[in-house]
Amino acid sequence: MNKQSNTYTLLYIIGIVVVVGTALAIVSTTLKSLQEKNADADKMKQILLSVNQQPENIDSLTAIFNRCVEGITINAEGQTVAGKKAFDINVANESKKPADERLLPLYIFRDNEIGTKYIIPMNGNGLWGPIWGYISLNEDGTTVYGAYFSHQGETPGLGAEIEKPFFRDRFKGKTLFKDGKFLPIEIVKAGQHPLGDADYVDGISGGTITSKGVGAMIDNCLVPYRQFLETLKK
């Protein structure tokens, strides 16, 4: 075949596309399981950080998670939903549904030293994209034991500070019930106070929109767990 002809050029291009496409498909398939494993490990790490556990490596992480964490799925009435694995539920999708239609994943952390903690996953929106996190509660379902927050693209030095320990630590010891009323924690500007009786923490200086996003996320994602938490409180 004439290598200078249009037919040869076209066939050559098609051949290159087929070879490259096949190679990329093979690489993608080969790495998929590894990517999923890393994503699962990162999720486990975030859950454990909400109860102040920081394993040194992935093997230790997996061992602690499998030994100490039980995942269940409940509904807004506080009832267990069978056949739904908590770890596989897409919290971002569920958070957009009406509260009474959501599948609510819940992680129960049990440890001889710190006791039993209940971990609630959350998902919301910051200034530039998704934000998410986990709040852990003591066995009474009322008092915050720890928290973890992260983001996809908030501004470094401003909204991105929600992932820093100094912000997470502000939630420790805050309560969700006051005089029998369920009042999710509010995020306020430093020096200000909420209008109601809810516990509150100072937002990030210069990260007002992200801070408000965290507050909205907490309110939206914790409220559906109210009935379940009330049973723990009792």
Q: What is the pLDDT of residue 28?
A: 61
Q: Which pLDDT does position 200 carry in this prediction?
A: 93
Write phi, then psi, for 155 (nearest 5 degrees).
-70, 125
Where b means 16+ CB within 10 Å and e means fewer, 77-101 reads ebeeeeebebeebebeebbeeebee
Angle at 145 between CA 107 and CA 181, to 5 degrees: 90
Q: In this structure, is the dihedral angle defined by the CA atoms of residues 37, 125, 143 and 72, taken in order, positive or negative?
A: negative
* Domain limits, the chain: 44-233
Residue ranges of the chain with per-residue pLDDT less than 50: none
Give the contacts of 127 (CB within 8 A, at least 6 positions apart): 154, 155, 159, 207, 209, 210, 213
Which residue, among 90, 92, 95, has the nearest Cα to 76 in the 3D structure?
95
pTM: 0.85
pLDDT at residue 23 in the model: 64
CB crowding 48-66: b at 16 or more within 10 Å, else e: bbbbbbebeeeeebbebbe
